[in-house]
Amino acid sequence: MKSAPNPTPRHARRLSVDDYVAGVLVGDRAVLARAITLVESNSRLHEAQAQEVLNRLLPHTGKAKRIGITGVPGVGKSTFIETFGCYLVDGGCRLAVLTIDPSSARSGGSILGDKTRMEKLCVSPNAFIRPSPSGDNLGGVARRTRETMLLCEAAGFDTILVESVGVGQSEITLHAMVDFFLLLLLPGAGDELQGIKKGIIEMADLVLINKADGDNRMRAEHARADQDAALHYLQPATPGWKTEVALVSGLTGEGVPEVWERIGKFYAALEPKGFIAKRRQQQALEWLGDLIHDELRRQFDHDPRVTAKLPELKDQLLRGEITVVRAAKVLLAAHGATDGAENPERKMTL
């Protein structure tokens, strides 16, 4: 007599919406990981299921502190995040570390290297580290990171760290999805050498001079004084909050408790006034606009009437036979001539 086959392992079988919702709510890390993979999928079928899962989980989101961390390459973000993260979980926090890396499509996924360097944090039962997948555009990566953040909140993580790689457009995107924006700088290097733009410093709620240990201590002190003086001429990143400059060492942990204390003061001062809730509402409205823009652009790029006219118009443009404005209007008119009701591929699926 043949023995009955073993039941399909939970991690191998296809999960229903109910399975995803129940698993995430009880903090099942395997189900959470699969739910994140679901929202990362480019499949339209998966997207419909992912949105149903997110809608069901939405009432259980929004209770975590959302903290963005950025800094120039070589500033020691991974070391700082591991030291900071270990301090938080040792203090009782449930921590999720997410990353947003628009360059990973070219670099092959450098974020995974950061994850393997956070060896202590990776094994903590109260920490969850997840890299954003490479995408064909920054908006796509940002969307996945936002939705991953919601899933982690529903799973009971009370603190979310979102790391941005590089300095540029990704920082603006990061700022639009977090409550508190933390900028790491190197000691002994001016803004020009670090590649830091004034606009990024203006977004910071706290500036940290990292690697402020050993021989770097004196240079770090000078850098703090310089940055502190510069902040006097800038508008505060958050109304009612004074951005400060502090020293920290991700290597030794010096200054890390003070960073968490400062973040705690931020929430204590602004949350009771409804500022955090209002900021998140504004971020949601901006995100809505970005998604509509991205979807309309996707529909435009895939419209066969547009793709049919585009090569000829490009040639005319290069030969100086048509202006850019007129060429754009021709393409937009061609796109508008296609009725969305006749072409289901053009229907928005946000």
What is the per-residue DSSP string for 171-187?
Answer: HHHHHTT-SEEEEEE-T
The percent of residues in the chain predicted with pLDDT above 70, rounded, is 80
pLDDT, mean of residues 178-186: 94
Residues 31-83: tens digit of each pLDDT: 999 999 999 888 888 999 999 999 999 999 999 999 999 987 788 998 999 99
Mode of pairing for the β-strands spanning 244-247 and 127-131: unpaired
Domains of the chain: 13-60 (1.20.5.170), 62-273 (3.40.50.300), 284-346 (1.10.287)
Higher pLDDT, 40 or 102: 40
Lowest mean pLDDT segment, chosen from 84-93, 151-160, 220-229, 239-248: 220-229
User: pTM of the entire structure?
Assistant: 0.84
Which amino acid would we find at residue 343?
N
Token pair 């933390």 in the structure block, residue: 182
CB 138 within 8 A of CB 173: yes
Higher pLDDT, 200 or 259: 259
CA 84 – CA 65 distance, rounded (Å): 14
Residues 208-266: tens digit of each pLDDT: 999 999 888 999 999 899 888 888 888 889 999 999 999 999 999 999 999 999 999 99
CB 63 within 8 A of CB 158: yes
Give the pLDDT score at 41.
87
Give the pLDDT score at 319.
95
Give the mean pLDDT of the chain: 84
pLDDT, mean of residues 320-346: 77
CA 185 – CA 72 distance, rounded (Å): 7
Long-range contacts of 139-142 (CB under 8 A, 24+ apart): 139/173, 139/290, 139/291, 139/294, 140/294, 141/100, 141/101, 141/102, 141/173, 142/100, 142/173, 142/176, 142/177, 142/290
Higher pLDDT, 197 or 90: 90
Give the pLDDT score at 292.
92
CB 130 within 8 A of CB 98: yes
Residue 338, pLDDT > 60, answer no
Confidence category of residue 172, pLDDT binned at 50, 70, 90? confident
Residues 263-315: tens digit of each pLDDT: 999 999 999 999 999 999 999 999 899 889 988 998 999 999 999 999 999 99
Q: What is the DSSP letter of 121?
A: H
The secondary structure of the chain in percent helix, strand, coil, rounded to multiples of 5, reads: 55, 10, 35
CA 304 – CA 67 distance, rounded (Å): 42
